Amino acid sequence: MVQRTAVPSKPRPRFIAPMECKRVPNLPEGDAWVYEPKQDGYRIIAIIDGNSSQLFSMSGLNYTAKYPHVAEALKWLKLKEAVFDGEIVALDESGRPNFQELQNARLTTRPIVYFVFDLLHLKGRDLLDVPLLERRKRLEDVAENFQNPVRLNPSFRVSLAAFTESVRKLGLEGIVAKRLDSIYIPGKESDAWRKRRFNQEDEFVIGGYIPGGQNFSELLIGEERGNDLVYIKRLIAGFVPHTRAEVFDAIKGLRTKKCPFANLPESRKSPYAMTEEVMRQCVWVKPERRCEVEFVERTKGGRLRHPEFRRLTG
């Protein structure tokens, strides 16, 4: 009896967890690297399977209903089977990404587009083990049929210094450097993809903390406006055990029963709002110490996006 060997089935288009960039203070240089402008939006995996197209967030949530015009545009590519990796952004009047407009996607009048920067699957074949240089070539072939709101994210093999200057002049968020021979590693941070944000920084007053661990879990910061100290943010990121202990030693002797922030409690409904209930967990301190904070930008309401503690100052 002749034993038949099962023919492996072709992989289907499906959600593939995005490969993540390593954040670095300085980007690599050389012929082995290619540079892309870092878009400021939501990372999206787009799946085309037959006559349907779907959009998924980094964690696998279905975002198709949020951006139906993007899903519809993907259908018109008539690829039948494809998986893209990219970023959905809202563009301001100058054509630059504006994250606040994206957060208000239902109300904004600004265009919302999908910048595609990688091709993970095409016509029954996964491309995860294919080097980036080859994946990019195939993506550029496919992108000849792209129409708004689907766009090809630009990629450059140029001098890093010149590209950095251009990106800064345009007011973009930062740069992603990718090694041309890199394969795609789903759901993992890879040293083959590195990113650098061109962040802002400023000094803020420490007005309290939320206890946690051996000292605190969140630092409460604000800024002086006239005679008032205005609450700005619950600061979580940027601490290591040493700096956390250093900050705690600097403020633990300043504890006070009075909240120093003039604009608390907050009534707005969000997971991080400083409501009366949250304030009952807080330990207030006299506003005598300052810290330096790095952040992407200020929102229209004066809040900070992606803030990180850097160091104590005054």
SS3 of the chain: the string is CCCCCCCCCCCCCCCCCCCEEEECCCCCCCCCEEEEEECCCEEEEEEEECCEEEEECCCCCECCCCCHHHHHHHHCCCCCEEEEEEEEEEECCCCCECHHHHHCCCCCCCCEEEEEEEEEEECCEECCCCCHHHHHHHHHHHHCCCCCCEEECCCECCCHHHHHHHHHHHCCCEEEEEECCCCCCCCCEEEEEEEEECCEEEEEEEEEEEEECCEEEEEEEEEEECCEEEEEEEECCCCCHHHHHHHHHHHHHHEECCCCCCCCCCCCCCCCCCCHHHHCCCEEECCCCEEEEEECEECCCCCEECCEEEEECC
- For residue 14, being part of any structural domain is answered with no
pLDDT at 8: 62
- State residue 250's pLDDT score: 97
Please identify which of the residues 10, 22, 38, 137 carries the catalytic annotation: 38
Q: Give the chain's mean pLDDT.
A: 93
- Does 8 map to a domain? no
The domain total for the chain is 2
C-alpha distances in Å from residue 225, one per residue of 108, 145, 259, 271, 293:
30, 52, 16, 26, 18
Residue 289: domain span: 200-312
227 and 184 belong to one structural domain: no
> Is residue 258 annotated as part of the catalytic site, yes or no?
no
Q: Is residue 6 part of a domain?
A: no
Confidence of residue 2 (pLDDT cuts 50, 70, 90): low
pLDDT at residue 280 above 90? Answer: yes
Distance of CA 102 to the CA centre of its chain: 13
Question: What is the share, in percent, of the chain residues with pLDDT greater than 70?
Answer: 97
Task: Look at residue 15 in the predicted model and tell me its pLDDT.
Answer: 98
CATH number, domain of 150, equals 3.30.470.30
- pLDDT value of residue 91: 95
Does residue 30 sit in the same domain as residue 159? yes
Give the pLDDT band (50/70/90) at residue 30. very high
Give residue 113's pLDDT: 98
Residue 10 lies in a domain: no
The type of residue at 67 is Y
Q: Give 3's contacts (C-beta < 8 A, 6+ positions apart).
A: none
Same domain (yes/no): 154, 187: yes
250-266 mean pLDDT = 96
The answer to the question of residue 7 being in a domain is no
Nearest to 39 by CA among 217, 203, 188, 167: 167
**Per the domain annotation, does 300 fall within a domain?**
yes
Domain termination site, one of 197, 217, 252: 197
CA distances 145 to 79, 141, 187, 292, Å, are: 10, 8, 29, 47
User: What pLDDT does residue 296 have?
Assistant: 84
Q: Is the pTM of this model over 0.85?
A: no
Quote the pLDDT of residue 9: 74
Q: Residues 34-61: pLDDT tens digits?
A: 999 999 899 999 999 999 999 999 999 9
Look at residue 4 in the predicted model and tell me its pLDDT. Answer: 61
pLDDT greater than 60 at residue 6: no
Summarize pLDDT for 196-208 with one digit per residue, the tens.
988 888 999 999 9
Tokens found for residue 110: 């600004």
